[in-house]
Amino acid sequence: MGKTIKKMVLGPVGTNCYIFSDEDTKEAVVFDPGDRGDKVYEYLKGEGLSLKAVFLTHGHFDHITGVPALLRMAKDDGEKPVLYASEDEKNLLSDAILNCSGTAMSGGEGGVTLDADHWLKEGEELTVAGLKIKCIKTPGHTEGSMSFFLEDERMLVCGDTVFEGSVGRTDLPTGSDSLLQQSISEKIIKLPEFTYILPGHGPETTIRDEIQYNPWFR
């Protein structure tokens, strides 16, 4: 049973959306659909894929504004995708000012609020569309930031917690330098060093490279 991984770069700040699909069942999981849920769904339909779940690493506008369109289009086709997010991100997702979708930062597209179908807990493990996912709370960029460890694929979808050689900003609502440093030193750095990091922006990297080059890992 093979997996296909598609990366789409969406929106004005280049948000990375990751789509994992099972080659046999044609079931798919989407991480962070950015601001173009319609474009994500068009890709899914073009590949003959069925959307089973949407996972959010955190609640900022550039990662979530495409969610309503993506879920609506899937449901209009008779699909029943489940929206997953960290239980600690409820406040951000429910407030368009906190998540910046209702501010000038979003480009004036209007506010978005979301209520997950399933609120995730630290250490929770799920299997969706054949993809084994371990949920790791990594607060700092936001209070409820969560990374998803795909052990079989040796991959970590981490949102804006870690970038190649850097980290996500902490000056937006619920951000914290100290929590971000703690997330890296107590959780991310302890993953296998050859784990690939799939960040919310920019190129992929590995735990090993970040230990060597990223000052936040020292």
pTM beyond 0.95, yes or no:
yes
pLDDT for the residue 149: 98
91: which 2 tokens? 């406040």
pLDDT at 144: 98
Superfamily of structural domain 3-217: Ribonuclease Z/Hydroxyacylglutathione hydrolase-like (3.60.15.10)
Query: How far, in Å, CA of 184 to CA of 168, rounded?
Result: 12
- Mean predicted confidence (pLDDT) in 16-35: 97
- Average pLDDT across the chain, whole number: 96
The answer to whether the beta carbons of residues 57 and 158 sit under 8 Å apart is: yes
Per the listing, tokens 């020292």 go with 218
Share of the chain above pLDDT 70, in %: 97
What is the tens place of the pLDDT at every residue in 144-158? 999 999 999 999 999
Rounded average pLDDT over 169-175: 97
Q: What per-residue confidence (pLDDT) applies to 176?
A: 98
| Confidence at residue 218, expressed as pLDDT on a 0 to 100 scale | 87
Average pLDDT estimate for 175-183: 98
Average pLDDT over residues 78-105: 94
102-106, 171-175, 181-185: least confident range: 102-106
**What's the average model confidence in pLDDT over 58-75?**
97
- The residue-averaged pLDDT of 167-192 equals 97
Res 72 pLDDT > 80: yes
Specify whether the CB–CB gap between 135 and 125 falls below 8 A. yes
| pLDDT-derived band at 108, boundaries 50, 70, 90 | low
pLDDT band at 105 (very low <50, low <70, confident <90, very high): confident
Q: Distance (Å, rounded) from C-alpha 195 to C-alpha 85?
A: 22
Per-residue pLDDT, 103: 86
> For the chain, what are the domain ranges?
3-217
pLDDT given for residue 107 in this prediction: 64
What is the crossing angle of helices 67-76 and 37-46, to 10°? 40
How many other CB atoms are there within 10 angstroms of residue 182's CB atom? 14
Whole-number pLDDT of residue 1: 54
Could you tell me the strand order of the sheet in which 125-128 lies?
125-128, 131-137, 146-150, 155-159, 196-199, 205-206
